[in-house]
Amino acid sequence: MRIGVVTFPGSLDDRDAQRAVRAAGGEAVSLWHGDSTVNVDAVILPGGFSYGDYLRCGAISRFAPVMSTIIEKAKSGLPVLGICNGFQILCESHLLPGALTRNKDLHFICKDQELEILNNETPWTKDFQLGQRITIPLKNGEGSFQCDDETLKMLEDQGRVVARYVGENPNGSRNLIAGITNELGNVVGLMPHPEHAIEELCGPSTDGLPFFTSVLKAMVG
């Protein structure tokens, strides 16, 4: 299965995401921000500082030619995973509600973070058990998920919170939210970095790998 990983100017974790796709058994396809052709089975928007985070994180990337195609395909069911900066781009694209703002203490965070998986019905989370706790890296400066009360209630009531931080709130996100999904369930935004937890040698665990094996199984199942 072909999983596209988009590279924007300023992307940092595109190669890591490609490596995670290959580790899961998929074919990683590099997608360039300036191209509008997206001939893949799923898409990952990686972490980094796309376009230098000018204006707002993800605000310029949202208008890249590749995003016009991804937005349309996502509305038709294409699985899309946005990690960190990719999550910010998904919110700026209105594929996901809410926004990611400065961390509560205004400092950049880089730590191993425990999460609880609350939705294992998306293409990106099928290999997890409901309520499973995992540990993957968290690294961000603008990772605080914010939305109005009505949107927050909708996300909680509809089971669209995919993952929640365990323990102390690391960045001030409402309801400890670390990741959410759209109404269709095919688009997932996640602030922590599963691509940095696919093997024990180079990460705190292998807990991130199921995000990538899940989508491969979803596409053949």
Tell me which residues are annotated as active site.
84, 193, 195
Instruction: Classify strands 177-181 and 80-83 as parallel, antiparallel or unpaired.
Output: unpaired
**Integer Cα distance of 55 and 175 in angstroms:** 26
Q: How many degrees, rounded to 5, is the angle at CA 138 between CA 191 and CA 57? A: 45
Judge contact between 46 and 83, C-beta under 8 A: yes
Short-list 133, 142, 130, CA closest to 98: 142
| 144 strand-pairing partners | 101
How far is CA 161 from its chain centroid? 12
